[in-house]
Structure 1
Amino acid sequence: MSREVLVHAPTGYQPGRTYPAVVALHGSVTDVTAMPRISGLSQLADANGFLVFYLQGIDNSWNGYTCCGGSQDDVGFAKAVVEHAVKTWNADANRVYAVGHWAGGSLAYELVAELPGTFAALGVVNGAYTSAARGGRAWTAPVPVVLFLGEQGRAAPTFQTRLLDHVKDLGCPELQPAFLGANKRITRATVTCRGGIDLDVYWFRDVATEWPGPGTGATEADRRSMAVDQGFDAGEVMWAFFAKRSRKA
């Protein structure tokens, strides 16, 4: 089965240099062409000098532990993309990061479990962690996680329950959310878990499953998957989190 990947090389890309790389997984109702506009990752890549590999799901969906169907090997697909990124695009194998939105976020969690030692950190926007007790697989090589969760919509209780699973599995202290400065619509909690693994969580009072971002260049269709009125750029915060972290030996 052939699969589609959209590659974005940063402005001024030089084949002889090594670059950090992001593997980005779109949400259920979007696709590989919309993900750059929704996430803003390509603009961030140009500004900060990293590669982005946008993966396309079969019928805009992913075959994960509990979401969303199909028989394709999406974990194998992601593994092949990472290998290609390192071999062909000179991606730094110690600085490869997984990013996912909604169903893509759920699969991004799965990639860390199924491909231990591959990713240096994980960024998820409104995706659900699947613990071993719920049919997933335990993380044998935990990585730092930055997570963005909406508090509205029917998926919100699941996101919160799965977050508590994740906190327990990682051996994290209890989360203590606090308002993000003067913005009373966003709260944040950050903790260091067992083995020195960081977990950074943002909750959005007025968001369901959308990606919080500025919406620069987004189409009207894209905006149905975005929260552009939060005064917050999840992609920018995500990259700042990644930039401080590399894979542990």
Structure 2
Amino acid sequence: MDQGDSKDTTHFGYQQVPVGEKARRVAEVFHSVADRYDVMNDLMSFGVHRLWKRYTVNLAAVRRGERVLDLAGGTGDLAERFSHLVGPDGEVVLADINASMLRQGRARLVDAGVAGNLRFAQVNAEALPFPDNHFNLVTIAFGLRNVTDKAAALRSMYRVLKPGGRLLVLEFSKPVLPGLGKIYDAYSFTALPLMGRMVTGDAGSYRYLAESIRMHPDQQHLREMMVEAGFERSDYYNLTGGIVAVHRGYKF
């Protein structure tokens, strides 16, 4: 669990809740927003989330024939790109703990004609049901902050990676440009819930989003957690002034 959590409780946004309750509450959030998830991503980030994901895909340096696990893959935008890159001899597993999000991803990718080298799996990142040393690449984009026990999830990701494999974590982080934090806070706690209410009828889920970002480990802390999980050459790249960061680590 994260620093600051007790043995029996963890944070859900700014609330402390029983450990066993967080996964249920997070599931309710994503069940609520699944059918409007992509629309809200474009609105909230002014489309910039597409550039963040493109940067992550480029940093992944996926090669043909590789095996990729995309955790918290949601509607499948990363998985779709990886599917083209690994080719017919490779494999991409689009995985998510939330059934509603997984259904959205499967429907979108099937409609797009991307299915030949794709598999879908409903999994918990803390206990991945895959063999040791199985994947060349594991990615998790905007999902790690929703995991109850992040350290356990990072260890699980490390286990399923092949030697020489790499993990990429794309996640909201802590702004590093002077003055950006105050602007970002004002936007997050006013505009996001308002947009959520107007587009999805659910302001609370987007208030949780803003709170969950503030409770997520900052860049250096997450890097240290990856090192503790066994990853080597762990580093990170700040995007948009540190509002988002891409973390990368290797298993050797």
TM-score range, shorter chain: 0.3 to 0.5
Q: Please state which structure has a larger fraction of its residues in helix.
A: 2
Q: Structure 1-normalised TM-score? A: 0.36
Q: Structure 2-normalised TM-score? A: 0.35
